[in-house]
Amino acid sequence: MSSLATYTETMIMHPSIPTRVIRTVGTPSFIYSEETIVRNVSKIREAAERHGLADRVHLSVPYFVNSNPHLFKILEGLGAGATIQNVEENEQLEEFGLNIPRIVSPTHLSDKDLDYFLARGIPINLATLSNLERAVELNLNGLRLRIDIFPDQDQRHGIKLLDFPRVKELLGNRKLKGIHVYPGTSSDLEACLRFQKRALGLLKEFPSITELNLGGGFSFDYQEKDNEKQHFDWVAYFGRLKERIASFKMKEDVNFVLEPGRDILADSGVLVLRVTGMEKPSGKNYHEVYTDGSYVLMPSAMLKGRQHQVAFFDADGYELREEDQDGLPAKLNGNTTLSSDRILPGIVYIPPTIKTGDYVIIRDVGSYGATQHLEFLNKAPAIEMLAKTGNSMEVISRRGSLTDKTRNIPK
Ligand SMILES: Cc1ncc(COP(=O)(O)O)c(C=O)c1O
C-alpha cells in the first residue's frame, strides 16, 4: 500500500512533506512541484535537441494558464519566456519583479494598451488589421502578426488570409519579422502536424520572417495512467519539423516559438480535498461523497467536461486502494448550495472503506486550475503550495479568509 507521501512523490516528485504540510495548512490546497515543471521543460528541449533544433526552438509559456508569478519565476530561471495577453498580466509580472522575456499574443488591443506595450518594447503579435494600421502609422519596425490559418477562417483571433493584400500594402517596404498561429487547445499530434505544415506555408507569402510562433494547444491526456504517455509527443513533432525545414527549404535564421501551457504545467499540480461525509441516495446507483472543495476552486473541469484521475488517502496519509475499478461509483461534491457543484463531471470510483476525514487528491490541475477560481458562491480561495527542488515547501498563494472576496471592495 502506498502512502500519501510516496504517492505525491510520484505525482509531485517530492518526499515526505505533503502529509505533514496538508495537516498544517489544511484543505482545500493546491500543491505544485518545481521538479515536474523543470522536467517538462527539459523534455521538450531534449526532443528539440534530438533533431538538432535546440538553438532554434524557444518556449514562451502562456501566463494565464496558471497566473501565479511564483511558478513563472521557475520558468524564468529555466530561460523560458511568458506569453501574455493584456496589460494586467504584465503589471502582475512586474509587481513580482519578474524579468522573464515576454511576448504579447492578444486579441484586438485598444490604442492605449498597444502604446503601453510599445513603450516597453514588448513584442506584440498584432491580431487585427486596425492594430497593424496603428503600428504602421507609428512607423514601427520588427512587426509580428497573428494569423488565422484555419481552413474555415473562423478563429476569433487573427488576421484572415483574404486580408493578405491589405497587409502587404500596409507593410510596404517594412519587413515582417514574425508570424503567430494557434491550433486550438488540446490538439493531438496529427492536428498539430497539419497545422505546422500550414504555418510553414506562410513563409512563401512572407519570406522575410525570422520568427514562426506555432502557438500552444498541444494535447495532454488526463485519463492516461502512464505519466510519460500523458504528454505530447515532442520527438515526433520536432522530427517532422526538421523534415519540413528541409522540404520547405527554410532559411537557417528562422526560429520557432512554442507556447505549451498544459504540457508544461498540468501534471505539476494536485488539488487536495477532505472528505466531509458520504451517503448513498435512495434509488441511486452511486454514492455522494461530500468534500470541503467546490467547483469554483477550478471551474474548468466541470465547464469543459474534463475528468481528472483521483486517488484517496486516509487521515494518516495511506492510500486506500490501488485500482479504481474495484471501487464503488460515486460523485464528488462541492460544499456550496449550487445544484451543479461537483468537483468533476463524471463518476469516480471510491474505495469501499472511505470515511469522513480521508483525503481526495485530484491529479493534473497545474494548468487551468486554481487560476480560474471564481468569486461566485463566496468560497474562500484554496491555499497554493510549491514543493521546491531541494526539499522545502513554500506558500505561493495564501488561503483566503472566510470573509474574503476576490473583488476588492473598500469599506
Ligand atoms: C495564444 C495561446 N497560446 C497558448 C495557449 C496554451 O494552450 P495549451 O495550454 O492548450 O497548450 C493558448 C490557450 O488558449 C493560447 O490562446
pLDDT (mean) for 104-132: 97
Nearest-CA residue for atom 9 of ligand 1: 261
Please name each of the domains of the chain with its CATH number: 4-32+266-397 (2.40.37.10), 34-265 (3.20.20.10)
What is the rounded distance in angstroms from the CA atom of residue 336 to the CA atom of residue 339? 8
* Confidence tier at 17 by pLDDT (50, 70, 90): very low
In the reported structure, the alpha carbon of residue 201 is separated from the centroid of ligand 1 by a whole-number distance in angstroms of 21
What is the rounded distance in angstroms from the CA atom of residue 334 to the CA atom of residue 380? 13
In the reported structure, the alpha carbon of residue 284 is separated from the centroid of ligand 1 by a whole-number distance in angstroms of 39
Would the CB of 216 count as within 6 Å of ligand 1?
A: yes
Q: What local confidence, expressed as pLDDT, does residue 74 receive?
A: 98
Would the CB of 63 count as within 6 Å of ligand 1?
A: no
Q: What local confidence, expressed as pLDDT, does residue 10 receive?
A: 44
Q: What percent of the chain has pLDDT over 70?
A: 94
Q: Is the pLDDT of residue 14 over 90?
A: no
* Confidence tier at 24 by pLDDT (50, 70, 90): confident
pLDDT (mean) for 8-30: 66
Could you tell me the pTM of the whole model?
A: 0.94
What is the rounded distance in angstroms from the CA atom of residue 82 to the CA atom of residue 72? 8
Would the CB of 125 count as within 6 Å of ligand 1?
A: no
Q: What local confidence, expressed as pLDDT, does residue 111 receive?
A: 96
Q: Which three cell numbers stand for residue 319?
A: 492510500
| Mean pLDDT over each residue of the chain, to the nearest integer | 92
pLDDT (mean) for 87-108: 97
**Mutation probe of ligand 1 site: the residue of 259, 364, 367 with most atoms within 8 A of C-beta:** 259
Would the CB of 195 count as within 6 Å of ligand 1?
A: no
Q: Is the pLDDT of residue 90 over 60?
A: yes
The residues, ordered by sequence, that sit 6+ positions from 23 with a Cβ below 8 Å of its Cβ are none
Helix (H/G/I), strand (E/B), else coil: 143: strand
Size of the chain, expressed as the number of residues it contains: 411
Render pLDDT for 225-274 as a digit per residue (tens, 0 to 9).
999 999 999 999 999 999 999 999 999 999 999 999 999 999 999 999 99
Q: What local confidence, expressed as pLDDT, does residue 18 receive?
A: 63
Would the CB of 218 count as within 6 Å of ligand 1?
A: yes
- What's the one-letter identity of residue 103? I
In the reported structure, the alpha carbon of residue 340 is separated from the centroid of ligand 1 by a whole-number distance in angstroms of 27
Would the CB of 3 count as within 6 Å of ligand 1?
A: no
Q: Which one has a higher pLDDT value, 391 or 155?
A: 155
Would the CB of 262 count as within 6 Å of ligand 1?
A: yes
What is the rounded distance in angstroms from the CA atom of residue 264 to the CA atom of residue 275? 30
Render pLDDT for 360-407 as a digit per residue (tens, 0 to 9).
999 999 999 999 999 999 999 999 999 998 878 899 999 988 887 767
Nearest-CA residue for atom 7 of ligand 1: 217
